[in-house]
Amino acid sequence: MSDGPLAGLRVLDAATLAAGPLIATWLGEHGADVIKIEQPDGGDPLRQWGAQKDGVGLMWKSVGRNKKSVTLNLRHETGRDLLRRLAREADVVVLNLRPSTLRKWRLDYPSLAAENPRLVMVHVTGYGAGGPKSDRPGFGTLGEAMSGFARLTGSPDGPPTLPSFMLADGVAGLTATYAVMMALYHRDVHGADGQLVDVNLIDPLARLLEQSVLTHDQLGSIPTRTGNRWDISAPRNVYLTKDGHWLAMSGSAPTIAKRALQAVGRPELTEDPRFAEAQQRLRHAPEIDAIMADWIVAHTLDDAMAVFEAAGVAAAPVYDAAQLLADPHMVARDVYPSVPDAQLGAMRVQAPVPRFSATQGGISHLGPALGEHNDEVYGELLGLDADRRRELSEQGVI
């Protein structure tokens, strides 16, 4: 894309798998020129990650949207030199190599900034810089474990539960994306140089789970798993309907909790001291759960939702992917547009979020073939002629 609010911003996505590449994906949705740098022998492992269709990675197609793919062997000194040359022409570079590897390969921030002081570099690692674990390899699973997420997720009598999606990577990527925008604002508005953004896979997710730390620090207790309940509101759970569907409900606001009790035919409980006040409701959450569960299981999903919607209760069906795609609200907002693709024909992917009134993001294409833009980037941006590009290819550099 070239007409978004980030038009003119050049981003080098030299990271692999999820957190780092997601940063570049989100910048690319809003106009940044993103160059995806991949190893020649297979590219980003994300290409082989998850569901495949005819050998094409579906997650890669989405995360690789709006990016130009070039191959570059960073294990080769000539390849690293080409990356340094590309970094001289960039505003942002995203890397997720170990700190010791960055230093050994002279791809660390001081080395790159010496040749391009305006460069903003994002370094994504498992643990972050400055501690004894900084050079250890890390993946989102470890962040989900160490942040406390897994400890709080699951049934009270079951094991800690890990998510079946890239939660820690996604939260880290979102955190780093707004950090990049702050670093660019500092550079461009305040006339400063670029800077290094250090983000790991534990801290951003742990920030969302801070209540458990606050509770331990101030009250000396360690929160435990509560299943689908949450000890700040009641009712709050998922409930089975008569026709075998699941319905989720939240009573976080006192007015909503009272409406829920009224909607299921128990208005007298809104005056009962056990249920009328928030802290008292929490102490009697199992009783509220039983009331809700008994009423909901006697109704179909459609009937229960009709009652709750009419009463202004915060409730929603628990969707699978097919139901999400078919939801009239999602369809009306075109949340999942179908994007043409040379390999897949077309694929529905989620549209950019958030939405803007004047500078809405967009999707120009899905993830490209490996090295599809070698000639464009190396020829036009770095000025390497066809003979030199062919030589580098024969040497395994690109």
Residue owning tokens 């009306």: 332
Q: List the catalytic residue out of 108, 169, 198, 289.
A: 169
CA angle 168, 42, 51 (to 5 degrees): 50
Q: Do residues 149 and 163 touch, judged by C-beta distance below 8 A? A: yes
Q: Do residues 98 and 126 touch, judged by C-beta distance below 8 A? A: no
Give the span between the Cα atoms of 247 and 313, in whole angstroms: 12
Does 289 participate in catalysis according to the annotation? no
Cα 262 to Cα 149, 151, 247, 389, distances in angstroms: 34, 35, 18, 72
Judged on CB neighbours under 10 Å (0-12, 13-18, 19+), 23 is: buried
The two tokens of residue 70 are: 């070039």
Question: Assign residue 83 a region: left if phi > 0, alpha if psi is -120 to 50, beta otherwise?
Answer: alpha
Exposure string of 223-261, with b = 16+ CB inside 10 Å and e = fewer, is: bebbeebbeebbbbbebebeeebebebbbeeeebbbbbb
Preceding omega of 235 cis (within 30 degrees of 0): yes
The catalytic residue positions are: 169
